[in-house]
Amino acid sequence: MTLGPANPETLSVLDRPNSYIGKVVPRPNLDRLMQGRGLYVSDMELPRMGHVVFLRSPHAHAKIASIDVAAARRVTGVIAIVTGEELAPVITPWVGILSHLKGLKSAPQRAIAIDRVCWQGEAIAAIVATSRAVAEDAAELISVEYEELDPVTDMRTALDPQTPVIHPSLGDNLAFERNLDAGAVDAAFAGSDEVVEAEFVFGRHTGVTLEPRSVVADWNAAEARLTIYQGTQAPHMVQNIAALHLGLEDSQVRVICKDVGGSFGIKVHIYADEMATYALSKLLRRPIKFVADRVESFNTDIHARDHRCKGRIGVKRDGTIMAFEIDDLTGIGPYSMYPRTSAIEANQVVNLVGGPYVTKNYRARARVVFQNKNVMCQYRAVGHPIACSVTEGLVDLAASRIGMDPVEIRRRNLIADDAYPCASPSGLRFEKLSHHAAMNKLVAMMDYEVLRAEQAALRKKNIHRGIGIASFIEVTNPSAAFYGVGGARISSQDGVAVRLDATGSVTCQTSITEQGQGSESLTAQIVGSVLGVSMARVRVILGDTDNTPYGGGTWASRGAGIGGEAALQAAKILRKNVLDVAAAILQASPAELDIVNDVVVNADDGSPRIELRELARIVYFRPDTLPPGIQPELMATRHFVPREYPFAFTNGVQASWLEVDTDTGFVKLLRHWVVEDCGTIINPQLVDEQIRGGVVQGLGAALFEKCIYDERGQLTNANMADYLVPMSGEMPDIDVGHVVSPTAETELGAKGAGEAGTAGAAAAVTNAVNDALRPFGAIITEIPLTPQVILAALKRI
């Protein structure tokens, strides 16, 4: 055992003996999930529970002329059939806007449509029955007369004068526009030796969480209280919004979040069918369960990334990047989502393009338009994959034009590692990034020169392999600047309460949530390390608005950086309180004592003085034996929110090594490397697995995933056989390396790591495919890179 230092209070928790920080420790409670004994919302049953099925519009845009539910009502087991008009008195409509996104507009959205449907999949009636099967039987007996309206589907013509306006009260189909002009862009392009342009096209895709969205709402009429069991990333947000629209106080709504079968941003929004389920429970005075089926998931889970972005880069022959310019267009469906809005992704694209590079010359326009397709909103790495693909695609095109190696052009333009703090042309403030250190590490990990030689040798044998590089920055630890300043009641601070229990174990309540990232583990690691308590004795409670401090939850790579710091600060207070009591009991000074392995010890020689369990026994059961005037406080609560930097930026670089079959158009991924810098690493294994999982989500976008709509606004591949996701057979091994630049804004120093993988994966793959196809003169700036896209670029079809 390492002995404690002379004065532990002057050392950070990172240096304490037996610290769990930076160590691989298994996540607590995995056995529950591995034995099939977790509790996902879809597993839940409550007495008198009704199951709701939503009848959904088959049309993208139509008037509802009539709904006849008489036959359906007669089905045995049907509890109620509720239309939008019947539900309206119970729940008010909402509008997804934020005041800091100037000009953003949207129309009121209802839990169940009234008179008109605006996308294929919008609910027009709720069928509540004793089982889902009975409800589905009844749904088939409802007859609806629609009068079809012209759908707006193509984002490129959504703003044309002859295109119908989806919401006449808004005047046009433009939801949001942002323009930015920084530096001297025209002069920079005029002074460039080469200017390269391209249009980048991104497929609309979606999260495909393995557990569909699920909710059980239980209105107890006698208590006048609603309990919502939901797989959500933000319980307090759900509590606040449910209360607001049901006419309740927050205290009348409890949100409980047990195990969640994947989220990735899909489960951080407020969906109409979930709002309808809360309202149905209140209306029918019984528990109501909604579990989306897979077709509903594809038609109603938020989509993302449907962007067309024209990009332009100016470069000198020596590789100096002179300027970036983009014109981004995205279609978000008929409504801006609530409450985070659907303008954030385009806004992020404007913020992030060119972010890793020195040039100050940057012009951007982003337009966000309405269309009659499913809603789009924030999904893992919001905007990052677009911005990274555009930026890194342009940088590679520029390198190719001037005949420079892709690594070299980046080295000549990435912000120097000693240039911080500094700011981007779009106003992002960078505290400390490490682009060059990350690039150096990546090049070493992948053996870049050897790989280039191998590529050249294989080309002679008509084997076409490519290397793609993508540097990136990632937004993490968002302050109130993300949502709060725009008026959204989404907390950016988090709280943690830590309590020493009567047997010397520790209970810790945190407002961050767990969906598999390891929130529970990192909280226990931090609390155990600071307190000197073994992790096995720390129990973490999350996901319950009745039983945790108020906070934001887990999204935008904020859990470790914000919730982790709150845990650290709370544990420090509890540690001090414990040592004060120990000193009183032992007639010592607190400074002479430390806590190591669940025992209060002498700080200087580590000899044991009193076990925590004994201290707790005295405090709770024999306080009469304590010296007079001592009132122990064995529970401590602290909250944290970043104040100095609106966001903690991380950075990294990815590389893809792949082979393109030029006869079939198939891409075989051979290897993928990532070096990222998320600051202090609490658990290396958890960070690596966040990166790997994120990369594979990006690889899915790069190669397979696309929601294919026809011109009538019909989603034609709303199932997992036709919408392709990455499976193990096609995925490569992924090597992950790190550079560590802790943020000085917290004692913990952790930034986020949840989205870095997704941010750069597609850009690396696209650059690698273009690298492989270089001998053919084909350049592709569209994802997914399906065989069809590749063969078309090769002019083989």
| Per-residue three-class SS string for 35-102 | CCCCCEHHHCCCCCCEEEEEEECCCCCEEEEEEECHHHHCCCCEEEEEEHHHHCCCCCCECCCCCCCC
Interaction of residue 169 with another protein, rule CB under 8 A? no
Identify the CA nearest to 100 among candidates 298, 337, 347. 347
Residues 194 to 233 in contact with another protein, rule: CB under 8 A: 207-212
Return the range that interacts with another protein (CB under 8 A); candidates 100-108, 117-125, 515-523, 568-576.
Answer: 515-523
Interaction of residue 720 with another protein, rule CB under 8 A? yes
Interaction of residue 731 with another protein, rule CB under 8 A? yes
Residues 202, 264, 271, 645: which binds another protein (CB under 8 A)? Answer: 264
Residues 6+ apart with CB under 8 A from 462: none
CB atoms within 10 A of CB 53: 24
Cβ 265 to another protein, closest distance in Å? 12
Return the range that interacts with another protein (CB under 8 A); candidates 269-277, 324-332, 359-367, 717-725.
Answer: 717-725
Residues 2, 7, 9, 37: which binds another protein (CB under 8 A)? Answer: 37
Residue 211 vs 273, nearer CB to another protein = 211
Interaction of residue 655 with another protein, rule CB under 8 A? no
Interaction of residue 138 with another protein, rule CB under 8 A? no
Residue 34 vs 450, nearer CB to another protein = 34
Cβ 563 to another protein, closest distance in Å? 17
Residues 725, 779, 792, 794: which binds another protein (CB under 8 A)? Answer: 725
Interaction of residue 432 with another protein, rule CB under 8 A? no
Identify the CA nearest to 301 among candidates 268, 347, 323. 268
Cβ 177 to another protein, closest distance in Å? 33
Q: Can you read off the two tokens belonging to residue 63?
A: 């008037």
Report the distance separating Cα 342 and Cα 10, nearest Å. 46
C-alpha distance from residue 738 to each of 50, 681, 741 (Å): 50, 9, 10
Interaction of residue 261 with another protein, rule CB under 8 A? yes
Interaction of residue 48 with another protein, rule CB under 8 A? no
Residues 292 to 331 in contact with another protein, rule: CB under 8 A: 293-294
The site string for another protein over 338-377 (x = CB under 8 A, - otherwise) reads ----------------------------------------
Interaction of residue 692 with another protein, rule CB under 8 A? yes
Cβ 525 to another protein, closest distance in Å? 13
CB burial readout 503-524, b (16+ within 10 A) else e: ebbbbbbbbbbbbbbbbbbbbb
Report the distance separating Cα 573 and Cα 576, nearest Å. 5
CB atoms within 10 A of CB 656: 32
Residues 263, 341, 509, 680: which binds another protein (CB under 8 A)? Answer: 263
Query: Does residue 484 come out as left (phi exceeding 0), alpha (psi in the -120 to 50 range) or beta?
Result: alpha
Interaction of residue 33 with another protein, rule CB under 8 A? yes
Report the distance separating Cα 593 and Cα 586, nearest Å. 10
Sign of the torsion formed by the C-alpha atoms of 622, 627, 628 and 633: negative
Residue 210 vs 222, nearer CB to another protein = 210
CB atoms within 10 A of CB 357: 23
The site string for another protein over 659-688 (x = CB under 8 A, - otherwise) reads --------------------------xx--
CA angle in degrees (0–180, nearest 5) for 301-304-310: 165
Q: Can you read off the two tokens belonging to residue 497?
A: 């309460």
Cβ 742 to another protein, closest distance in Å? 23
Q: DSSP 3-state assignment of 14? A: helix
| Contacts with another protein, residue ranges (CB under 8 A) | 26-27, 30-40, 42-43, 45, 131, 133, 207-212, 259-264, 293-294, 515-518, 685-686, 689, 692-697, 719-721, 725-731, 733-734, 757
